[in-house]
Amino acid sequence: MATGLAAAAAARRRLLLLPRHLLRESHLSFSAAPAEGLDVGDGGGGGGRVKIFDRDLKRRHRDRAAWAMGETDALADAVADNLLDRLEDCRKAFPSALCLGGSAGAVRRLLRGRGGIEKLIMMDMSADMVRKWREMDNATDDGLETHFVVGDEEYLPIKESSQDTIISCLGLHWTNDLPGAMIQCRLALKPDGLFLAAILGGETLKELRIACTIAQMEREGGISPRMSPLAQVRDAGNLLTRAGFTLPGVDVDRYTVKYNSALELVEHLRAMGETNALFQRNPILKKDTALATAAIYQTMFGLEDGTVPATFQVIYMTGWKEHPSQQKAKRRGSATVSFSDLQKQFGSNQN
């Protein structure tokens, strides 16, 4: 059963290591032989591609989330607000924006004219979710031109160099090929365009992870992966650089949400469409195990007031598409003056 975990960890490592060459390969096949590109479309991914998440299942999760979610979600709102705050730090305006999956509804609601966005395209895998956003958009009246598309982040249907900014709020951690998805985002950005993303980090739901493991070992004598492998903070910087973004910035925020019981937490996860979509998942969850998990969660992490805390670690990533106007380091070894000469120069100036 430890092998299951090890396999998941290995798969995650592969996710981080492989995709660049995979992506290049797929680009080649698209341009050279269009028919081959189709296989990817039919199978939802080529045969050799590393697949960790069941994207079809995630799509259904999000269909369900579209009707299960409340009007507002404190966690999603906090993350979206934090993310959008970054738009205000830029002096540049972003007339055309693309908003990807996850909590894009919260982004739309909290945008409030930030970043000078005039035209917004909202995209998600789930048609029901997109329809829900459209209803929401029709109810708000702030004169923002909003368009809706059903699309997959792994196959971004957006024209090259067409967007000023791409915002992804809590969606990209479900992509099988995160670097690939980010490279596609970079391609869709105009030069000097901004990529803003929030993904869940490895510390997320660590309490639930522990409770699930203990309960499963206790009741079933082994464990199955109940939790996604998530990116670590140190990976995030590498991801941005690998995807070719300039001036990468990563920061982390940790939110603790209190629930009345662990079951309520699961209910919330369901409403956010964040439930397990691993290919390796065990499709059966015994009631016995579920209740044991809740009990263990309560005893191990329960607070004095009877609530249980859940940690959400959110990694914020900022990157820019290359542009000549951006500051950058000079080529290594291109210096013409040595540091000791510099010091001498300054020394003589002062004297």
User: Which positions touch other proteins (CB under 8 A)?
Assistant: 30-31, 34-35, 37-38, 40-42, 44, 56, 59, 96, 98, 119, 121, 125, 127, 130-131, 134-135, 138, 145, 147-152, 155-160, 162-163, 187
Rounded to 10 degrees, the C-alpha dihedral 133/139/143/148 comes to 20
- Amino acid letter, 133: W
CB-wise, 16 or 98, nearer to other proteins? 98
CB-wise, 22 or 79, nearer to other proteins? 22
Q: What token pair was written down for 249?
A: 């910035």
Which is nearest to 319 in space by CA: 246, 253, 251, 252?
A: 246
Q: How many other CB atoms are found less than 10 A from the CB of residue 144?
A: 16
**What is the closest distance, in whole angstroms, from the C-beta atom of residue 151 to other proteins in the complex?**
4
Give the C-alpha distances (Å, rounded to integers) separating 101 from 150, 157, 201. Answer: 10, 13, 17
**What is the closest distance, in whole angstroms, from the C-beta atom of residue 127 to other proteins in the complex?**
6
Buried b (16+ CB within 10 A) or exposed e, 91-128: eeebebbbbbbbbbbbbbbbbeebbebeebbbbbbbeb
**What is the closest distance, in whole angstroms, from the C-beta atom of residue 230 to other proteins in the complex?**
24
User: Read out DSSP for 63-74?
Assistant: HHHHHHS-S--H
